[in-house]
Amino acid sequence: MTRATRGLSILALILASASVVATQQSRSSYTPKIKGGWEILFDGKNLDAWDVDQTAGAWAIDDHGSLYVVKAGRNIYTKRRYCDFVLELDYRIVPQKKCNSGVFVRVHDKNDEVNTGMEVQILDDADYGVGWDAMNANGALYDLVHPALDANKPVGEWEHFRITVKGSLVSVVMNGKEIVRADLNRWKVAGQNPDGQHNKFPYAIASLPREGFIGLQNYGGVPAWFRHIRIRPLTNRQPKYTGAEPIADVLDKSASK
Which residue ranges make up each domain of the chain?
A: 3-255
Residue 2: what pLDDT? 55
Domain 3-255: homologous superfamily in CATH: Exo-inulinase; domain 1 (2.60.120.560)
C-alpha closest to that of 228 among 151, 164, 162: 162
Say if CB 145 and CB 167 are below 8 A apart.
no
Banded pLDDT at 1 (limits 50, 70, 90): low
Write the CB contacts of 51 (distance below 8 Å, at least 6 apart in sequence).
Answer: 76, 77, 78, 79, 110, 213
- pLDDT average, residue stretch 234-246: 98
List of long-range contacts for 180-183, beta carbons under 8 Å, 24+ apart? 180/120, 180/139, 180/140, 180/141, 180/145, 180/146, 180/147, 180/148, 181/145, 181/148, 182/141, 182/144, 182/145
- What is the pairing mode between strands 76-78 and 50-51? antiparallel
Average pLDDT score, the chain:
92
User: In this predicted model, what pLDDT tens digit does every residue of 106-160 receive, in sequence order?
Assistant: 999 999 999 999 999 999 999 999 999 999 999 999 999 999 999 999 999 999 9
Write the CB contacts of 32 (distance below 8 Å, at least 6 apart in sequence).
Answer: 17, 21, 39, 40, 49, 80
pLDDT over 80 at 15, yes or no: no
User: In this predicted model, what pLDDT tens digit does every residue of 174-209 receive, in sequence order?
Assistant: 999 999 999 999 999 999 999 999 999 999 999 999
Banded pLDDT at 243 (limits 50, 70, 90): very high
- pLDDT average, residue stretch 54-72: 96
Residue 30: what pLDDT? 83
pTM of structure: 0.89
pLDDT over 70 at 59, yes or no: yes
